[in-house]
Amino acid sequence: MAAQTSYPTFSGSGGADVAIIGAGIVGLTAAYLLAQAGLSVVVLEARRVGRQVTGRSTAKITSQHALIYRHLIDTRGIDQAQYYAEANRRGATQTLSWIDQLGIACELQRKDAYAYTCDPGQREDIKAETEAARRVGFDAQFLDRAPLPFHTAAAMRFPDQAQFNPAQYLIGLSLAVEAAGGRIFEDTRVTAVDTGDRWRVTAGKGTLDVRHVVIATNLPIAGPVEYDGRTQPRCHIAMAFRTAADVVDGMFIGIDEPTHSIRMGRDSEGPLLVALGPRFNTGQNGDVAKRFRDLETWVHSHLPTGDAMWHWVNEDYETADRVPFAGAPSDEAPGVYIATGFNGWGISNGTATGILIADQIRGRPNPWAKLYDPRRPAPEDFVQGGESQSEVSRIEDIPPGEGGIITQGEEKIAVWKDEHGKPHRLSASCTHKGCVVTWNNADCTWDCPCHGSVFQADGTVVHGPAIGPLRPVTGPAKP
C-alpha cells in the first residue's frame, strides 16, 4: 500500500521552463533531473501521483524483457539491441540508485528474473535468447528448468534484478522533485497544448506558458503527431493471492501462450503471490471477468495459494518493433516531447526515456536517441481497432451493477445500472475519436476498443487519449 498524496490543483496562470503532463515514471524521472539542473518544472497530474499505469504495474526493475534481445538483433541489428540493453540497464540502476540516495521506502527486494517455457519445443528459443542477451552484455544463464513448483522445460535467468512497490517509489520521487524546486499539481487534467510565443498548456481554467512540454501520458493526449495509429492498446489482468509463505523466489514470465507472469509481494496481512494473465486488446473483450476466473483456475492448479485478495486491470501500449517511442516527434513543434508504447516494460524503459528527454531538453547528447526515435517509420496496419463488445437489445437486459450499449435511433447509449438497478445513461461515443466503448465487467469501466481510452462508470476519464468525459444523455430512458 502507498500513502495518499495531497498536492494542490492547478489554477490561475503562470510560467515555467518545462511543463510535464503525467506524474508516472517517465514524467517524474524527467522532472527530477530537470529540477536538479536548475530548470523551473511544473508537473500536472490528472489524478494522483503514481496511481495510474506505473502504479498498477507488477513493478519489475529488470532488463529481462522476455524474448526481446534476439528479436532486436534480428530486426534492428546488434548495435540497436546493444543500445536497448544499455538504456534499460541504466534505467534499472538509476531507479535503484535513487531509492538508496533518497531513502525511498518502497519494499525493494533483489530478485533474479526468469523467462521460462513449459513446452520442450520452445527450449531452443530460450537458448537463443540467452545467447542474444550475452551478446549485449548480460550475465544470462540457460537452465534446464525454472525453480518453480510445476514442470518447466527450460528457463533463462538474469541474476540480481529487483522488484518494488511502484506507487511508493513515485511518491518518494515526487518529494524529491519538490525538494529540488519542482512544483506538482494533482487533479489537474490538461485539456489543450497550444503554440504561441511559448507553449501554452491549459488545464481547466488555468494556463501555463512554458518553453518545453513533456507529454508523459499513457498515450500522448496532444502534440503534432498522433500515435494512436502507431501503438496498439493492450490490457493485462493481475491478481494477488494469499499464501502462507513465499511460494516462489524470483520474478517469472512464461513465453508460452497463454502467457503468465508471477512473483511474490506483500500487504499488511502477509505474503501474496502476484500473477498476471495474457494480454488482450483494450475494449475488445466482452467478458473481462472470465479472464480473472481463468487466471484464478491456472494459479490454483499450479501453485499452493489461498484466496484471491486483490485484482486489477492495467493497460499499456505496444509498438510494432517492441521499442517505445520517446523524444521530440517533429521539427515543426520544437520543445514538445512524448513517450509512449512501453510494451509492458515501462519501469526500466520509462526511467531510460525520462533520462533521454531530460537530456534532450538540456541540449545534451544521448546515445539512445535513435533507438527510441519517435519519428521512425511504423507499419500502417499495426493497430487493430475493434467494435464494442457490449451491445444489448434492451435496458432490461442489463443486470444491476453492469453496463451495456443500446441503440436509440442513430445514437449509441452507454447504460450503467447501479446496485439498486437504477440506469445511468451516457453517450457511448469515446470523446477521443468517437468509437463506441465496451463495458469492462471486471473494473466497471467503459473501455475504448480503438485507441484505449478508459472511463469510469459515470463517464469520468481514467486515462486518455480522451481528455473529456463521456457526454451525459438526458431525457427519458427508452427500453
Whole-angstrom distance, CA of residue 245 vs CA of residue 296: 18
What range defines the domain where residue 455 resides?
Answer: 395-463
- 418-447 residue pLDDT tens: 999 999 999 999 999 999 999 999 999 999
Rounded distance between C-alpha atoms, residue 286 and residue 97, angstroms: 43
Is residue 125 within 8 Å of 133, Cβ to Cβ? Answer: no
Strand partners, 191: none
Residue 336 domain-assigned (yes or no) = yes
Is the same domain home to 336 and 368?
yes
Give the model's pLDDT for residue 1. Answer: 57
Longest alpha-carbon distance in the chain: 66
Q: 400, 418 in Cβ contact below 8 A? A: yes
| Residue 73, in any domain of the structure | no
* Backbone φ and ψ of 6, nearest 5°: -145, 50
- SS3 category, 324: coil
Residue 339 and residue 219 in one domain: yes
The predicted pLDDT at position 479 comes to: 46
**Residue 66 and residue 130 in contact, taking contact as beta carbons nearer than 8 Å:** no
Same domain? 404 vs 454: yes
Q: Let me know: does 365 contact 359? Beta carbons within 8 Å.
A: yes
Q: Residue 198 and residue 212: Cα distance in Å, rounded?
A: 8
Assess whether the previous peptide bond of 379 is cis (omega < 30° from 0): no
Q: Check which CATH number belongs to the domain holding 173 and give it.
A: 3.50.50.60
Cβ-based burial of 245 (10 A; exposed 0-12, middle 13-18, buried ≥19): exposed
User: Is 432 part of a structural domain of the chain?
Assistant: yes
Q: Which residues pair with 407 in a beta bridge?
A: 412
Whether residues 331 and 458 fall in one domain: no
- The total of structural domains in the chain comes to 2
Residue 53 C-alpha cell reads as 499505469
Cell match 469515446: residue? Answer: 430
What is the domain-level CATH number for residue 451? Answer: 2.102.10.10
Q: In what order do the strands lie in the sheet with 445-447?
A: 438-440, 445-447, 454-456, 461-463
User: Reduced to 3 states, what is the DSSP secondary structure of residue 449?
Assistant: coil
What does the pLDDT read at residue 2?
59
Same domain flag for 334 and 452: no
DSSP string, 157-225: EEEEEEE--HHHHHHHHHHHHHHTT-EEESS--EEEEE-SSSEEEEETTEEEEEEEEEE-SSS-SSSSS
Strand partners, 315: 235
Question: Do the domain assignments include residue 405?
Answer: yes
CA distance 125 to 136: 17
| Distance, CA of 284 to chain centre | 18
Residue numbers of the chain with a pLDDT score lower than 70: 1-2, 54-56, 475-479
Assess whether 325 and 457 both reside in one domain. no
Identify whether 387 is part of a domain.
no
Specify whether 219 is located in the same domain as 188.
yes
In a domain, 46, yes or no: yes
Do 459 and 328 share a domain, yes or no?
no
* DSSP labels, 211-279: EEEEE-SSS-SSSSS--TTT-EEEEEEEEEEE-SS----SEEEE-SSSP-EEEEEEETTEEEEEEE---
- Do the domain assignments include residue 208? yes
Residues 364 and 412 in one domain: no
Q: Which pLDDT belongs to residue 475?
A: 60
CB distance 30 to 354 below 8 Å: yes
- pLDDT at residue number 87: 98
Secondary structure of residue 340 in the 3-state scheme: strand
Let me know if residue 411 belongs to a domain: yes
Phi, psi of 296 (to 5 degrees): -60, -40
Tell me how far the alpha carbon of residue 462 is from its chain's centroid: 13
* Helix, strand, or coil (residue 67): coil
